[in-house]
Structure 1
Amino acid sequence: MNSRITYFFRHPSAGVSIAKVSQVFVNYFKQTRRVCCYTVPYHTTGIISMFRNLLYVCRHRDREGINHLTGDYHYMVLALIGCRSVLTVHDTVMADNSQSWAKRLFFKYTYFVWPLKFVGRIVCISENTRRSLMRFTSRTDIVVIPDAIDTSIFSYSPKTFNAACPRILMIGTGWNKNVERELHALQGLSCRVTIVGKLTPAIRKAIEETKVDCENLTDLTDKEIYGLYCQSDMVLFCSLYEGFGMPILEANMAGRPVITSRIAPMPEVGGDAACYVENPRDIGQIREAIKKVTGDAAYRDNLIAKGRENAKRFLPSVIEDAYARVYDSF
């Protein structure tokens, strides 16, 4: 039964990453089902803004069709009680990183305990997220559906590796991206680095201390980011925390070796198609991984070949079929 699907997206000032990965399967369902899309009008997690977003969802919910909250603002499930609803959970950072006990308690119930109790179907983007979510619910019907790679933008683009002075791509500058340690790992190595994202004072300081040859780019389109993958020789993504780890998959798709952390969910995404650093807080381990990828052509070629195969697990058609089964389960 092809019920109409109403998608709700968080406010763009909270970030556009969820909207981008969701749009891949939303565009597919626009071709096969009746679809409506709404973006809630408020971003902050203040009580008044949350209440206004709840009213907005209540006004635009579909009582006959399926309502899908694409991520982050989990509390909006409370406006969908009595409706068929789906919630995609990307991570549990709201519960994990709140500083005060009062905020942790607030987010525990408004973002997790209550929404997970009342929502019709729960989707997690990784097994790691599902395991983390089990702290807040005893439900056994949670489905894992990973993010999809956007094949309308990303494709294989072969490049001769510049072993003498490789161009290294770093995506993201948040606290979890570990950029400062990556820069210190590169100190003294011949390379050129492109960092995508607004530089923090700590990253600026690391650039000054290490003298690494860096360029910084911000506010790029998806096509421009893909262009950076094509220009790069390798991707350095030794993150400390991720809900998924899309740069691993993007590197696989573009045909670039990627170095990442052996911290869940990165191995879940990368499989055997990445060079793993056991402890991303150890600058020496990051440095050794960089030297291994740079110095071993056969190893690089193997990573690239396995990456192209690994990317097939995340093709839009695979993810769309998985979501269709969730919708049709009502």
Structure 2
Amino acid sequence: MEIKYFFRHKSVGFSIQHVFGTLMTEMEKRATVDKTHMPSSRSMPWDVVRNSVYAYKHRNKKGINHISGHVHEILLGLIKQKTILTIHDLVFIDNVRNPVKRLYKWLFWLYLPIKIADKVTCISAHTKENVLRHIKTDKITVIHNPLNIRYQYAQKAFRLSKPVILHVGTGWNKNLKRTITALKDTPCHLRILGKIDEDMKTYLHKAKIEFSNVYNLSDEEVRQEYIDCDIVSFPSLYEGFGMPIIEGQATGRVVLTSRIKPLTEISGNAVQYVDPTDVNSIRMGFEKIIKDEAYREGLIRMGLKNIERFRVKEIAKQYLEIYKEVMNNG
């Protein structure tokens, strides 16, 4: 079997390629695997045409064409090919208020791609539910993102006097400002993964939070950040999956996250849940983790059990079944 993975432009971000890189490494044991990146990073009409033509020229005529996510529009160039579309989230529609732009996104990133694709996978049940609110289809299968095999348990004593709290991400949805407010007067070191601007640095100084900021790290450096921390902070306002939850759990670190979908689906209740819109809830969540050793250790043990369902061998097996079904359908 031949499988070709299509990725968005390299400048847009590596989160999807990071996830699918794990899958591709495992899939190479079972099939011939190739990949290609789109030439345009934008989403204007001429970019849609450019990327779709590029996809057509680089299509896999003999096997599976798997669109890994966020470049859904390139299915326009893959009509009559054997295609799989993975949908991570619908932020490209959910955050658009202009009705004309919203219709444009719905048509070219959701309706037409789903109509063209042979099969659609969603990385969470929550994403599937969201898709079905916009378009009715029986093509969707939920397949979670795989955990990279590099994330292994690393034993470490908890720093009770000044725990290192690793806050993963600095985008609008990562809820950093509320987290800073919640940690005011809490002895800790806030390690922020992702670039912050001068305004956020000023806010941190005013809150008298001891912090450090790292970004543009290699995959191995990111893994080391999990090992070095005591608590993983992920009180997001919006997510399509929640990879830091299982990465933290796999490392053996206690995780604080939001009681929202799909994070409740991914976490397996092996986390400290908080209301991401309530600073006091976030504060109390951190306090509970820091002060209650038995509770903290219990969450870590449950987290190590939860990650078993995200092992890459299991995820690859699920995808392989989808690929075989598409290949066998003529």
Short-chain TM bin = over 0.9
| Residues 163-312 of structure 1 aligned to structure 2 (within 5 Å) | 163-277=160-274, 279-312=275-308
Which residue of 304, 321, 329 corresponds with 2:325?
329
SS of 2:256 mapped into structure 1: strand
Deviation at 1:272, TM superposition (A): 1.8
Which residue of 110, 129, 132 corresponds with 2:130?
132
Contact 2:118-2:139 within 8 A present in 1 as well: no
SS of 1:168 mapped into structure 2: strand
Deviation at 1:113, TM superposition (A): 0.8
Counterpart-to-counterpart distance in 1, 2:58 and 2:207: 52
- Letter of the 2:51 partner, please give it: N
- Aligned residues, how many? 326
- Letter of the 1:315 partner, please give it: R
Question: Normalized against structure 2, the TM-score is what?
Answer: 0.97
Q: Deviations over 1:285-312 (max 9, x none)?
A: 0000000000000001101100110011
Q: CA RMSD in A?
A: 1.0
Q: Match of 2:17?
A: 19
Deviation at 1:221, TM superposition (A): 0.8
Q: Deviations over 1:235-285 (max 9, x none)?
A: 1110000000111001100000000000100011101211101x2111000
Counterpart-to-counterpart distance in 1, 2:129 and 2:268: 18
Listed as ranges, the gaps of 5+ residues in structure 2 are: none
Q: Match of 1:56?
A: 54
Which residue of 38, 41, 52 corresponds with 1:40?
38
The ranges of structure 1 where at least 4 consecutive aligned residues each deviate by more than 6 angstroms after the TM superposition are none
SS of 1:240 mapped into structure 2: coil
Deviation at 1:201, TM superposition (A): 4.8
Counterpart-to-counterpart distance in 1, 2:158 and 2:283: 18
Identity %, equivalent residues: 36
Deviation at 1:206, TM superposition (A): 2.5
Counterpart-to-counterpart distance in 1, 2:195 and 2:164: 19
Listed as ranges, the gaps of 5+ residues in structure 1 are: none
Contact 2:65-2:83 within 8 A present in 1 as well: yes
Counterpart-to-counterpart distance in 1, 2:97 and 2:109: 16
- Letter of the 1:284 partner, please give it: N
